[in-house]
Structure 1
């Protein structure tokens, strides 16, 4: 059985070393589908969607209206800090593929016990960046038993915009 939960957020990013327009700072209306595979238990329900939302929402809240920035993109990090703009520092590029992998890792680590308790064996994450472009990644839950969870507080830089 496969069940799915959808999430949405707005964010900006750039791919500084990209040879085309993606090197410019720009934004997207992201949509993410999280699919969970497993066998429903006696309740005939694989998992309560509210449990998935409880685990994933802190990440989506951190990402909503942020600017993704590669840790190595010093110029953008400094500009965002100067402007007082909310941003999320990633260890790599903010490609759709990387974001899908990040969501899968986040869910499988922060929600490992919950997923195991409900018999969820695999997760598929689809992150859609535009109307026509998306990336899909798949993860086996058991593979994340000893994986450290991403730390939102280390990556999220919340700054208060100056009222003008």
Structure 2
């Protein structure tokens, strides 16, 4: 049976600030992110299986990505936990804002690496993460490919 890639798209709104950056993105701002998740595997050949013909049920993939990424990052503000933004993060949290402190600079590049690690842990053994595309704006995105890593 052939390997087949399937892709599911997700969207979420997230704010961030890039501490130490020399441009406008040092300020707190947000993006309407679009995440494209592509997995690869062989379609199920057992005709008695309710998922016959599927690589993975799109609903199962949606559950993984929603729980580990979308529900966590949507309408959150992300800061590197090792920066002076901690004071701002504490203030926002005290005012009941959703703040995420991560151990990396919250660029699209670093976020997509984080997302790949999270998704790979949850996929069934026979399904592999092929690639991720995290679109920050209509003209800017970061991509992660298993073959490069």
* Structure 2 match to 1:122: 129
CA offsets per residue over residues 5-30 of structure 1, 9 Å max, x none? 11100010010110000101001000
Matches within 5 A, 1:58-137: 58=67, 59-73=69-83, 74-109=86-121, 111-112=122-123, 114=124, 116=125, 119-137=126-144
How far residue 135 of structure 1 moved from its aligned partner, in angstroms, is 0.4
Correspondence 1:1-164 to 2 at 5 A: 1-42=4-45, 43-58=52-67, 59-73=69-83, 74-109=86-121, 111-112=122-123, 114=124, 116=125, 119-139=126-146
Name the TM-score, length of structure 2 as normaliser.
Answer: 0.84
Residue 75 of structure 1 deviates from its aligned partner by: 2.9
Q: Distance in 2 between matches of 1:80 and 1:101?
A: 26
What TM-score comes out, normalization by structure 1 length?
0.77
What is the deviation of 1:50?
0.6
CA separation in 2, counterparts of 1:121 and 1:11?
Answer: 27
Shift of 1:134: 0.4
Structure 1 segments (4+ residues) deviating >4 Å = none
Secondary structure (helix, strand or coil) at the match of 1:129 reads: strand
Which segments of 5 or more consecutive residues in structure 1 lack a partner in the other structure?
Answer: 144-164
Number of matched pairs: 136
Q: CA RMSD in A?
A: 1.7
Task: Say if 1:9 and 1:30, in contact at 8 Å, map to a contact too.
Answer: yes
